Structure 1
Amino acid sequence: MIRRNPWVGLRIPSLFASDEAWRAGHRAAVLPLVCSAAVNIVLAVLALTVLPPTPRSVLLWVALIVLLAGTIIGAIVGARAANGIPVA
């Protein structure tokens, strides 16, 4: 696991409260981030290999929205998990 740092990871103040909050927040955010990335990969492969150009651009926009939604949901879940950790 990556330790608390200013460059890599979710950039949410509650995750910077402690090392425990950093770990708990990122551990909680893994599922939504991985699920949206997996859906995104499937959509991108379909768009780049199967579909003609017009639906392809729509599908790529949907893939972008899915990726952003997964990131936002992961950030919310991670912040909630980090807020549940008492600050020493």
Structure 2
Amino acid sequence: MHTQDAASGLALMGWVFTGLLLLVAVICFAAARGVIALNSVVGLRVPALTRSEDAWRSGHAAGQAPALVAFAVALVFSTLGLASPLAYWGTLAVFLGGLTWIVIRATNAANAA
């Protein structure tokens, strides 16, 4: 029974991280288009992006592609996890690597704005 609990916890983790990457992608798209203006609640909370409205939009625009790629790859791993629960560890790795990639791209673009 313990192994089954661990597998369901791993599955939950995989799908939650996949969903979070989708949320980050949606936020990047909305903030890049000005739907989400510079604020202190929703968006990538990186100092370079909160410097100005232009930095906010540029940073989020730069984060769009990595966010979509990370979401797509995490979705593949989570789907594979339905057959082989070990694949959910791939989702975790993609989440961490994708978030790092998004923040680096967004910070670089915001600093250049």
TM-score by length of 2: 0.66
Q: Please list, as runs of the form range in 1=range in 2, the aligned pairs for 1:58-69 lying within 5 A after superposition.
A: 58-69=86-97
Q: Deviations over 1:23-81 (max 9, x none)?
A: 00000011111100111111101112x22xxxx1x311111110111111110000000
- Match for residue 47 of structure 1? 81
- Match for residue 3 of structure 1? 37
- Match for residue 67 of structure 2? 33
Q: Tell me which of 13, 27, 33 is aligned to 2:47.
A: 13
| Offset of residue 13 of structure 1 | 0.3
SS of match in other structure, 2:37 = coil
Structure 1 residue runs of 5 or longer lacking an equivalent are none
Q: Quick one: percent identity of the two aligned structures?
A: 38
Structure 2 residue identity aligned to 1:13: P
Q: Tell me the C-alpha RMSD between the 2 structures.
A: 1.0
| Offset of residue 21 of structure 1 | 0.2
Rounded Cα–Cα distance in structure 2 between residues aligned with 1:46 and 1:59: 6
SS of match in other structure, 2:64 = helix
Structure 2 residue identity aligned to 1:34: L
- Match for residue 78 of structure 1? 106
TM-score by length of 1: 0.84
Greater RCO (Cα-Cα under 8 Å, separation 6 or more): 1
Query: Between Structure 1 and Structure 2, how many residues are aligned?
Result: 79
Structure 2 residue runs of 5 or longer lacking an equivalent are 1-34
- Match for residue 4 of structure 2? none
